[in-house]
Amino acid sequence: MKTRVVVVSYINNKGKVLFGKKSPNRGPYPNTWHLPGGGVEEDETLIDALKREVKEETGLIVKDAKQIFFNDDKTLNKHGEMTHYIFLVFNVSVEDVNFKPGDDLVGLKWFEEKKIKDIPVTKPSKDFFKYIGLL
């Protein structure tokens, strides 16, 4: 089984959280909302990976980041291979809140904290929001 370390950004702006929408045809976690982030590449620090992924997926520039949570999940990757994902969640502040969807996302949206329970989020995101008391 493959293992993949994934850095995840929790970007909260005045009680609204930024989510990216996964393509319905691309795994893992197709057709769900997730916190922006992605895999750590070789020779990359966690913070460098976080900055790169946030910029690729949202166009936003990370100003500050602090790790606040971790969890894991085993699921099929986008190639259909069973993968053990290790998720490291960071509380992130950004330079600007005007985003543009990129990379493998079909959309980006701010959701009010109280609405998170009403949207289809990935299992790892659900675990995080339970941990911080929003689910």
pLDDT for 78 equals: 86
Quick: pLDDT tens for 53-73: 999 999 999 999 999 999 999
Q: CATH number, domain at 43?
A: 3.90.79.10
Give how many domains the chain has, as a whole number: 1
Looking at every residue in the chain, the average pLDDT score rounds to 93
Quick: pLDDT tens for 113-134: 999 999 999 999 999 999 999 9
pLDDT for 103 equals: 67
109 is in which domain, residue-wise?
A: 2-131
In the beta sheet, which residues pair with residue 33? 21, 121
Within 10 A of 99 (CB to CB), how many other CB atoms are there?
19
For residue 28, whether the previous peptide bond is cis, meaning omega lies within 30 degrees of 0, is yes
Is the pTM of the predicted complex or chain greater than 0.75?
yes
pLDDT for 27 equals: 76
